[in-house]
Amino acid sequence: MKRKIVIIVIIAVVALLVFAGVRQVIKSRAELAQSITQIHSEMGVPVEVTQVKIADFALSHSYLGTVEGVLQNSVSASIVEEIVDIPVEVGDRVKKGDVVCRLDAKASRAQYQQLKLAYEDAKLDAERMERLYEAGAISKQNMEKAQLNRDVMKENLETSSQTVALTAPFDGIVTDVLFRPGETTEMGKPVVKIADLNRVKIKFTVNYDDWKQINKATPVYLQINGNGDGEILAEISDIAISADTKSRLFNVWVEAKNESGIFQPGLLVDARVVVALKPDAVIIPRDAHITRDEVNGVFVVGDDKRVVFTAFNSGRSNSEVIEVIDGLTPGQTIVTYGHNNLEDGKLVKIIDSKTSTGN
């Protein structure tokens, strides 16, 4: 019996202690809340502010495109033959006429020798006809016929030599090698791809609404996808006049200088197209915008450091700023952080002031 009484007493004491602790916590929180409220009342609610600005307003849309060389070509074989050597690798710089692939010449050697003999005969015949023409023994037409035959034989010989030694058509960089020595070529199928990357082009697609707003003078800024480097200005070179029958989108091509070599074929690029640009617009940062009872507005800070909710009519907006049609005046100080603790007439304490807003 005594044991039960002791247990009951212990439980009662513990309960009293818990109750006292909870009461003290509640009291402390209430005192803390009163303390914060009192501090805000006396010193002001901490806020970050900026000013309503006049600046150029840019409405941009971003698209993904793939890098290509403005001048690019594939070196292909005109015969089916075994590859004996590819003296280039991806990334190598080549000059026009450099050999990029050699084929087995055994099967083509006989044909080449025949064409070489035919060219030498045509060359000698043309020289003989030129001497006879100078002597007045033949007409000019006969001489020109012999010269034409010589030129045709020369072109045939050069073409034949190129079938076993594939060469670069222009100065550039090897962007792809699709065959390896020992493999057999296929007629018309690319063996090596070459591009001049001093200037690149990017193709992307836009919807009908954006297509209506762009032209060749529309600014476009390029940035490698996922790269934090700065943007590079590009120029629109072509705009499709009809939509793709499947996607219903319009192709757009832009070109940009690539002297640094930052853009490489196949890379994904962000193309930011400025579809609308309004100079001298009144703008505010998105962080300043709040809604009260479905009304757009901001908290304007007065000279007495007290705020007033001020409604405004908005125009267009982008990811950073909102265009103001009316309701706000350039130079007004507005709150960008700390709205949750504000109401009309509240005193504020400015802890950070941004002197500008971005586009």
Bridge partners (DSSP) listed for residue 184: 82
Is residue 261 domain-shared with residue 248, that is, in the same domain? yes
Number of domains in the chain: 3
Which pLDDT tens digit goes with each residue over 164-214? 788 898 888 888 899 999 888 887 889 999 988 888 899 999 999 889 989
DSSP secondary structure letter of residue 82: B
Residue 215 belongs to domain with CATH number: 2.40.30.170
Whether the per-residue pLDDT at 297 is higher than 90: the answer is yes
Question: Quick one: average pLDDT of 233-254?
Answer: 92
Q: Which domain holds residue 228?
A: 61-67+198-278
Is residue 270 domain-shared with residue 285, that is, in the same domain? no
Helix (H) or strand (E) holding 299: strand 295-301
User: Does residue 162 lie within any of the structural domains?
Assistant: yes
Given a contact cutoff of 8 angstroms between Cβ atoms, the answer to whether 207 and 106 are in contact is no
Last residue of a domain, one of 251, 278, 305: 278
CA distance 151 to 163: 19
Bridge partners (DSSP) listed for residue 259: none
Is residue 207 domain-shared with residue 308, that is, in the same domain? no
Whether the per-residue pLDDT at 161 is higher than 70: the answer is no
Residue 133 belongs to domain with CATH number: 1.10.287.470
Residue 26, classed as helix, strand or coil, is: helix
Residue 29, classed as helix, strand or coil, is: helix
Tell me what pLDDT residue 24 has.
53
Is residue 140 domain-shared with residue 212, that is, in the same domain? no
Residue 353, classed as helix, strand or coil, is: strand
Is residue 246 domain-shared with residue 298, that is, in the same domain? no
Mean pLDDT of the chain: 82
Which pLDDT tens digit goes with each residue over 23-57? 554 445 544 445 656 666 667 789 899 999 999 98
Tell me what pLDDT residue 342 has.
86
User: Does residue 32 lie within any of the structural domains?
Assistant: no
Is residue 155 domain-shared with residue 240, that is, in the same domain? no
Is residue 203 domain-shared with residue 150, that is, in the same domain? no
Is residue 82 domain-shared with residue 184, that is, in the same domain? yes
